[in-house]
Chain A
Amino acid sequence: MPENDHYVIIGNGPAGNHAAATLRQKDKDAKITIISDECVPYYYKPRLTDFIAGEIAKEDLMVNFQDVKDIRIRCGQAVKRIDPDSKLLFLQHMEKIEFSKLIIASGSRARVLPTMSGYADHLKFVTSYTDVMEYKEEIRKAENFFIFGGDLVGFKFFKMLNSMDKTVTIMIDPDAFWPYRLTRDMLEQISENLLKFNTEIIVKDEVLSIDRQNGSYRVKTRKGIEKNVDMVLSFNGLNPNIEFAKGSGIDIDYGILVDEYLKTNVDGIYACGSCAQIYNQAIKSYTTSIGWPNAVVQGEVAALNLLGDHKIIESVGQKYFDLEGVKIKTTWWEDINEDNDA
């Protein structure tokens, strides 16, 4: 074991960075390492669409987070496996790292629905810096888009394309705002509100096939709609990034299961942010939080509890999300005043 404690944080987003900063603030001597499979430093994911639209520069994506001092940030390095017994992390490039305590804040990645498997190769997912750098020129050049899904990022992306005078067809899926399923009334209200954008909206239908033809894509739906477009993008929510934790003995459902203190079932291992499912005493079940402010607070709380504190996590930030005029309460179990939030 290392002479000083070695706190390792998997994930370089808001939860991971605020966890690291809190650890450093409380423990000046510990060795602290952030590991991220993305090559890029800490960045504002919500600003990616603004960057594609050309409204902000690449530099404006980066978070100037001065609090992560004397912390080693390992970027572009994927964790392949965790061995909690020997307190070892195995990285993809065959390096072993010893840790004293671990915080998993690995975030999430684009969710691929089982129904997409037949045409997933033709879908573009724009949920990370890497995705954006790969597709930004293609997006800027393309004229016709088919958006499939309709989560928060998807609608933001749609509005960005609309502002760029692109032609967009959007098919809204009730499962897109996963894990919250949109009701029929919600779907109808959303599509009605989108009409002002002079775009074609498809609801209560599903994609049957996507074929590549002469550099463009032909999308067919079950109800017989056919579209020729330059790009097909999927926005159907996110899935926790936790493959490396499978088989480690850490309890997992679709995310890493943690108690109200963000502690997993394994001593010394915590999880926070969108990769975690947090136990909620009020409903006796697990929930997943969304949004940057939640991630920040969870990172801080996970770090404090890892150091011996005993703080219960509470949801913060937006508890209602405006999905094209439809308010969706993500902490539906809480008794809160809608007017104070939004």
Chain B
Amino acid sequence: MKDINIVIEICGSAGEGTISAGEITSRFMSSQGFEIMSFDSYPAEIRGFGKCVAHTRISSRQIYSPGKLADVLIALNDKHAISQLSTLKENGILIYDSQPARPHKEDESVAGWAKPGMISYGIPLNMLAHKASGNARGMNMVALGALAALFYVDKSPFTDSIKTRYAKKKQIVIDSNVNSFLEGYNWTKENIKKIDPHSFKDITLPKPKEKLIINGNQLVARAALDADLSFYAGYPITPATKIMEILSRELPKHGGVLLQTEDEISAIGAVIGAGFGGKRAMTATSGPGFALMTEFTGLSVMAEVPAVIINSQRAGPSTGIPTKTEQSDFNSAVLGGTGDCPRIVLAPADTKSCYEATVLALYLAEKYQTLVVVLLDFFLSNSIRNINIPEKPSSEYLDANIAPDKNDFKDYQRYKITKNGISPRAIPGTPGGMFFSTGLEHDAYGRPNYSEAGHTAMTQKRFAKFNTVLTEAPAPEISANDRDEFDIGVISWGSSAGAAHEAVMSAQKEGINASSFSSMMLSPFPEKALIDFSDKCKKILIPELNFSGQFAGFATRILKRSVERLNFITGRPMASEDILQKMREM
């Protein structure tokens, strides 16, 4: 059976059903057993008619990145689609409206900009939508019908996916969408001479297990609920808002409390307060909000209060570009803040590991009584995958607090110096467990103490936690680790790791002896594993989505060797094709 590996982009204006069409395509293809990875981009403004793009990669094999260029561009809006043609492959397929409501002036039609080698299929999207439902709203479904007809996709299960998508709407809405789809399908079958090679004909994959079609934000919220989150405080901010939206609905059902604060400073303050009170608490924000929280993050570390911050990175600095992806908060998450401030930072590499990272964050924060930051980004927050339903966390991850025993209560020292840096933590109100808590440097009882020896001991204690945290984190992912030597080692983090892994697999097929290394744990970082990997590699490449190579600089200090950098700030996710090209040039 031949492989399917195709990227479809639907481009329209906000309100034209672009994202819905992408979602339906993803759900349908998932139901047919394909791997999917989809990613939407849309304007930052809440209202208006900005450009929306639903990008979906569909594959009969495992995929790790969304694919840089599209095989198919469906243009629901000519003006926006013209600029999107730059991401269509040289031999890509353009599906456009051949009978728009008004004639185009010169150069205003996307069809007029199709490059030689591209295949253009003109479908009367607007006319067929009117025929099906009396208005243009069904253009997106007409386009999906045309797509299904062109690629020999079975129309019946596709219409089932449409019905499912609109199941909560009135029957007339369902009918309009299905009819629009069928109009597009039938018209294309009868009128279009297919000249492209893509076909889903005779491709039958095993019936997939029940899968979740879900994005990173949804998984974070689900993981937080499964990990017994009790309290959430936050201030809405793209691209993290969805986490708060879900929890505002679901957390009260689980007995928890959600507080929308007036700003991010209050949010982290409330989270630390709840953590101090013994509740599992977290907040979610983006770079600008994280910057506001910085002072309070120090309190969490200093007062040893569990707190979890999900930081979904956007392009920056300042308020930056809310709806574009970037990995430029590495420095602020790992190194930001005042003083020697050890914190745990996790960076999931893909949608699935957003669940794992959130569960781990709440666990580690509670056990190590400290701040844990989870670094997502716009792409991870919003890209949709079909994944197996994650297993719920075992009980050890749900109750991690190391509580004082009766011996501790004889002379309770909340900040007792211990070998692993963890002191028995009494929840306020525990008889015999009274203590001082402050952001000032303190002694073992929590009383302010600025002595030379005291500050040294307490700083050592806080850093001592790092010695054992690494043993609780997933080991770094290293491909082809059984080999002794590599010509190129690709080290990556966060959402770039999938693209790096895919690029290395492609490079290996081309005969390049390469391997990839990525670690969910950014702080503390598994330095020994990184050095061991580096020792095997003649050359090192570090791709990341920021301008200055923040992680590359961090890694260079550990490795004490020069590395090749590959940096993009396009606002798009990392592309395996770019990494592969760089590897070929090295």
Name A's B-contacting residues (CB within 8 A). Answer: 12, 39-42, 73-77, 90-98, 130, 133-134
Taking a contact as CB atoms under 8 Å apart, the answer to whether A96 and B104 are in contact is yes
The residue in B105, B107, B112, B119 that gathers the most chain A C-beta atoms within 10 A of its C-beta is B112
Cα-based distance from A76 to B118 in the complex (angstroms) = 8
* Known pairs A12-B116, A93-B96, A96-B103 / 10 extra A-B pairs, C-beta < 8 Å: A73-B115, A73-B116, A75-B114, A77-B114, A91-B111, A93-B104, A93-B112, A93-B122, A94-B109, A95-B103
Provide the residues of chain B in CB contact with A75, threshold 8 Å.
114-118, 120
Provide the residues of chain A in CB contact with B122, threshold 8 Å.
92-93
Nearest Cβ on chain A to B124's Cβ, whole angstroms: 10
Cα-based distance from A97 to B119 in the complex (angstroms) = 21
Chain A: CB-nearest residue to B93:
A39
Nearest Cβ on chain B to A167's Cβ, whole angstroms: 28
Interface size classification for chain B:
20 to 34
Q: Is B108 an interface residue (CB 8 A)?
A: yes
Taking a contact as CB atoms under 8 Å apart, the answer to whether B98 and A134 are in contact is no
Chain A: CB-nearest residue to B119:
A39
Q: Is B106 an interface residue (CB 8 A)?
A: yes
Nearest Cβ on chain A to B105's Cβ, whole angstroms: 6
Q: Is B467 an interface residue (CB 8 A)?
A: no
Provide the residues of chain B in CB contact with A98, threshold 8 Å.
106
Provide the residues of chain B in CB contact with A93, threshold 8 Å.
96-98, 104, 109, 111-112, 120, 122
Cα-based distance from A76 to B116 in the complex (angstroms) = 8
Provide the residues of chain B in CB contact with A12, threshold 8 Å.
116
Nearest Cβ on chain B to A109's Cβ, whole angstroms: 13
Taking a contact as CB atoms under 8 Å apart, the answer to whether B106 and A96 are in contact is yes
Cα-based distance from A74 to B82 in the complex (angstroms) = 13
Sampled A-B contacts (6; CB under 8 Å): A39-B119, A41-B117, A74-B112, A75-B114, A93-B112, A95-B106
Chain A: CB-nearest residue to B90:
A41
Nearest Cβ on chain A to B103's Cβ, whole angstroms: 5
Taking a contact as CB atoms under 8 Å apart, the answer to whether B114 and A95 are in contact is no
Taking a contact as CB atoms under 8 Å apart, the answer to whether B117 and A94 are in contact is no
A-B pairs, top 4 by smallest CB distance, nearest first, are A76-B120, A41-B116, A93-B111, A95-B109
Q: Is B100 an interface residue (CB 8 A)?
A: yes
Provide the residues of chain B in CB contact with A77, threshold 8 Å.
111-112, 114, 120
Taking a contact as CB atoms under 8 Å apart, the answer to whether B117 and A97 are in contact is no
A76 partner, pick from B104, B106, B111, B194, beta carbons under 8 A:
B111
Q: Is B83 an interface residue (CB 8 A)?
A: no
Chain B: CB-nearest residue to A99:
B106
Cα-based distance from A94 to B193 in the complex (angstroms) = 20
Q: Is B205 an interface residue (CB 8 A)?
A: no
Q: How would residues 86 to 105 of chain B score, 1 for a CB under 8 Å from any chain A CB and 0 otherwise? A: 00000000101111100111
Residue pairs across A and B with CB atoms within 8 Å: the count is 75
Q: Is B195 an interface residue (CB 8 A)?
A: yes
Taking a contact as CB atoms under 8 Å apart, the answer to whether A95 and B118 are in contact is no
Cα-based distance from A171 to B97 in the complex (angstroms) = 43
Taking a contact as CB atoms under 8 Å apart, the answer to whether B114 and A74 are in contact is yes
Nearest Cβ on chain A to B489's Cβ, whole angstroms: 34
Q: How would residues 184 to 195 of chain B score, 1 for a CB under 8 Å from any chain A CB and 0 otherwise? A: 000000000111
Cα-based distance from A77 to B108 in the complex (angstroms) = 14
Cα-based distance from A52 to B122 in the complex (angstroms) = 28
Chain A: CB-nearest residue to B101:
A94
Provide the residues of chain B in CB contact with A41, threshold 8 Å.
116-117
The residue in B103, B106, B114 that gathers the most chain A C-beta atoms within 10 A of its C-beta is B106
Interface positions of B from 129 to 163, Cβ below 8 Å from A: none
Chain A: CB-nearest residue to B102:
A94
Q: How would residues 336 to 374 of chain B score, 1 for a CB under 8 Å from any chain A CB and 0 otherwise? A: 000000000000000000000000000000000000000
Taking a contact as CB atoms under 8 Å apart, the answer to whether A130 and B195 are in contact is yes
Cα-based distance from A39 to B95 in the complex (angstroms) = 13
Taking a contact as CB atoms under 8 Å apart, the answer to whether B99 and A94 are in contact is yes
Taking a contact as CB atoms under 8 Å apart, the answer to whether A94 and B106 are in contact is no
Given A40-B117, A76-B111, decide whether A133 and B195 contact each other with a Cβ distance below 8 A: yes
Taking a contact as CB atoms under 8 Å apart, the answer to whether A95 and B112 are in contact is yes
Provide the residues of chain B in CB contact with A40, threshold 8 Å.
116-117
Taking a contact as CB atoms under 8 Å apart, the answer to whether B116 and A92 are in contact is no
Provide the residues of chain B in CB contact with A73, threshold 8 Å.
115-116
Nearest Cβ on chain A to B109's Cβ, whole angstroms: 4
Cα-based distance from A93 to B108 in the complex (angstroms) = 11
Provide the residues of chain B in CB contact with A94, threshold 8 Å.
98-100, 103-104, 109
Cα-based distance from A104 to B99 in the complex (angstroms) = 25
Nearest Cβ on chain A to B507's Cβ, whole angstroms: 24
Nearest Cβ on chain A to B393's Cβ, whole angstroms: 53
Chain B: CB-nearest residue to A62:
B117
Taking a contact as CB atoms under 8 Å apart, the answer to whether A76 and B114 are in contact is yes
Chain B: CB-nearest residue to A131:
B195
Taking a contact as CB atoms under 8 Å apart, the answer to whether A39 and B103 are in contact is no
Provide the residues of chain A in CB contact with B100, threshold 8 Å.
94
Given A75-B116, A130-B195, decide whether A92 and B104 contact each other with a Cβ distance below 8 A: no
Cα-based distance from A94 to B103 in the complex (angstroms) = 5
Cα-based distance from A97 to B107 in the complex (angstroms) = 8
Given A76-B118, A93-B122, A94-B103, decide whether A39 and B195 contact each other with a Cβ distance below 8 A: yes
Nearest Cβ on chain B to A172's Cβ, whole angstroms: 29
Cα-based distance from A299 to B347 in the complex (angstroms) = 61
Cα-based distance from A42 to B116 in the complex (angstroms) = 9
B119 partner, pick from A76, A90, A91, A96, beta carbons under 8 A:
A76
Taking a contact as CB atoms under 8 Å apart, the answer to whether B116 and A97 are in contact is no
Cα-based distance from A77 to B117 in the complex (angstroms) = 12
Chain B: CB-nearest residue to A88:
B106
Cα-based distance from A41 to B118 in the complex (angstroms) = 9
The residue in B104, B107, B195 that gathers the most chain A C-beta atoms within 10 A of its C-beta is B195
The residue in A73, A93, A130 that gathers the most chain B C-beta atoms within 10 A of its C-beta is A93
Provide the residues of chain A in CB contact with B104, threshold 8 Å.
93-96
B120 partner, pick from A39, A42, A95, beta carbons under 8 A:
A39
Provide the residues of chain A in CB contact with B116, threshold 8 Å.
12, 39-42, 73, 75
B111 partner, pick from A95, A133, A134, beta carbons under 8 A:
A95
Cα-based distance from A92 to B111 in the complex (angstroms) = 10
Cα-based distance from A97 to B104 in the complex (angstroms) = 9
Provide the residues of chain A in CB contact with B107, threshold 8 Å.
95
Nearest Cβ on chain B to A40's Cβ, whole angstroms: 7
Chain A: CB-nearest residue to B103:
A94
A39 partner, pick from B97, B99, B117, beta carbons under 8 A:
B117
